[in-house]
Amino acid sequence: MTIQSQVTPAGERAGGTLGERLLAFARDPLFRGDARVLHAPNPYRRALAPGTLAAGDFARPLTAAAPSAHRSLAAHRLLGTFYEAETVLLPEQGLAALHDDFDRFYGEDLRELRESSLSELERLAFGGLAGAVDVSGADTVEVLDSYFRHVVAEAATGPSPALAAVAAAHDRRTAADLYVVQLALDGLTEASAMSRNLAGAYGPEQSALFKIFIDEFGYGVHDAKHTTIFAKLLRSRAMATHVHAYWNFYLAGPLATNNYYYYLSRDHAKFFRYAGAVTYAEAVFAPGFVEMVKVFRDIFGDAVDLHYCDEHAHIDEHHGRITRDQVLLALAERHGPRVVPELLRGVAEARLVGGWFEEDTAAQIRWSDDLTRHRDLAADARTARGAEPDRIVLTPDAPFGTRTRDADVVLEMTAGEADLVATPTGPPERLARGDVLLVPAGRLHGLRAATPEAVCLAHPVEPPADPTAAPPAAPPADQDG
């Protein structure tokens, strides 16, 4: 008797355009989300909001000019999920109830979709960096070191836009929690990207990087591991400590910043770029955490555990010296002028994507802290004539998800009531029938029904007139006088 195989060939399972493959991945049951705002302690499930995605979102590369756009958020959520599937994630409570999710997350079907899409998705997400950074003329160690010193001094003397927004907020505690959540993206899986560049044989520079890696891992003592002491910070704020509890509140800029180091580490042809990037990151972390300690102490006093920040403020000063002297400049000296442009490119790109983290986080804090004013702005906004609004129907048991938009929209409740959620710990903004609220482009938000059914319209806003545009031409004169 002949038995017909029921297995779909891999080429058919992972076929189609990039957009079609990514939509197939996002629509997997693991990524549909549920009605809860925070994710349960299950590292395999995270909301990819498939209902807000279209294949066209992945048809053209992102640009460095719009790091918080809807397409950027969608692409980096997917890319971060792809990268994490190449690491080991196990829940603290054990796998007893999660074996099926474990098998599915790491299983063949999703792996084939990832592997057939990853390189294309990386080009879409980071291809725009090539034209955003100029490394012409970088061919000596002296040029590299001069540029590095300049950008590090710039970072050390300039205030953090995100921390400045926390300090200036009306509700500083909620703003501080939102900032901490952006750190949690890496803080609970710290140094996972770095681990991919530790294998091989490349001399003393390899040992220097390993020194930093073992510092991050507490020299094998779990209680001293940086992820462990980051969890202490979260607990002191009565926040969840499991991986990706706050997935719905990761912003596109921080996601892109975190993904950038995985992107460089996955392709060893980009090793010198990674060396430049990690050197810049280690050099600017220390002053950044010193500033964070000052801001958080002013807000919380001694009620917050800042061991994680104090540790980084101390150890990253040391790491900055190691990476500059024993990695960045050592690689340039050892391998010659051809690697210098790549080393410098890594420094420049890390500076750029670090700016995405700062600007996106600062903008989210300022908007979510001032929603009353955005109700008033919505009443005065001009919605685009002839543009069809998105109609959003909400029920209490529908999956909750967050999103951004590429242009300003006015949300208008036309039936029922809903909560607009824009921060992980602050109170939601209740919208009743007839209420309107302006959501600027790039601002992360989610809607949750507060009545058995609620309907919201998202009206596109007419962009402001360009003051530099030429006035419309006058009509032709009447030739008959």
pLDDT in tens, 413-424: 999 999 999 999
- How high is the pLDDT of residue 466? 56
- Nearest 10 degrees: Cα torsion 73, 76, 81, 83: -170
On whether the CB atoms of residues 121 and 79 are closer than 8 A, the answer is yes
CA atoms within 13 A on the CB side of 122: 17
Determine if residue 442 is left, alpha or beta; phi over 0 gives left, psi from -120 to 50 gives alpha, anything else beta: left
The helix (run of H) or strand (run of E) holding residue 446 is strand 446-449
Q: For residue 457, what are the β-bridge partners?
A: 391, 412
Q: For residue 410, what are the β-bridge partners?
A: 438, 459
- How high is the pLDDT of residue 477? 46
First to last CA, the chain: 96
Q: Does the pLDDT at position 405 exceed 90?
A: yes
414, amino acid identity: T
In this structure, is the dihedral angle defined by the CA atoms of residues 244, 250, 252 and 257, taken in order, positive or negative?
Answer: negative
Compute the distance between CA of residue 60 and CA of residue 128 in angstroms, rounded to an integer: 10
pTM: 0.93
The model's confidence at residue 209, banded by pLDDT at 50, 70 and 90, is very high
The model's confidence at residue 158, banded by pLDDT at 50, 70 and 90, is confident
Strand-pair category, 446-449 with 454-460: unpaired
Strand-pair category, 409-415 with 390-394: unpaired
For residue 107, the SS3 value is coil
Q: What contacts 296, CB < 8 A, 6 or more positions away?
A: 176, 304, 306, 309
On whether the CB atoms of residues 151 and 213 are closer than 8 A, the answer is no
User: Edge-to-edge strands of the sheet including 409-415?
Assistant: 390-394, 454-460, 409-415, 436-439
- Counting DSSP H helices and E strands in the chain, the numbers are 16, 7
CA dist 85 to 108, 192, 477, Å? 12, 12, 69
The model's confidence at residue 310, banded by pLDDT at 50, 70 and 90, is very high
- How high is the pLDDT of residue 3? 33
pLDDT, greater one: 268 or 468: 268
What share of the chain has pLDDT > 90, as a percent?
Answer: 88
Q: Does the pLDDT at position 9 exceed 50?
A: no
On whether the CB atoms of residues 59 and 121 are closer than 8 A, the answer is no
Residue listed under structure tokens 């990268």: 83
**Which of 366, 359, 355, 353 is CA-nearest to residue 423?**
366
- How high is the pLDDT of residue 90? 98
Tens digit of pLDDT for each residue in 326-379? 999 999 999 999 999 999 999 999 999 999 999 999 999 999 999 999 999 999
**Which of 181, 57, 69, 20 is CA-nearest to residue 405?**
69
For residue 194, give both structure tokens: 């770095």
CA dist 421 to 402, 403, 458, Å? 8, 11, 15
On whether the CB atoms of residues 444 and 402 are closer than 8 A, the answer is yes
For residue 42, give both structure tokens: 């299950």
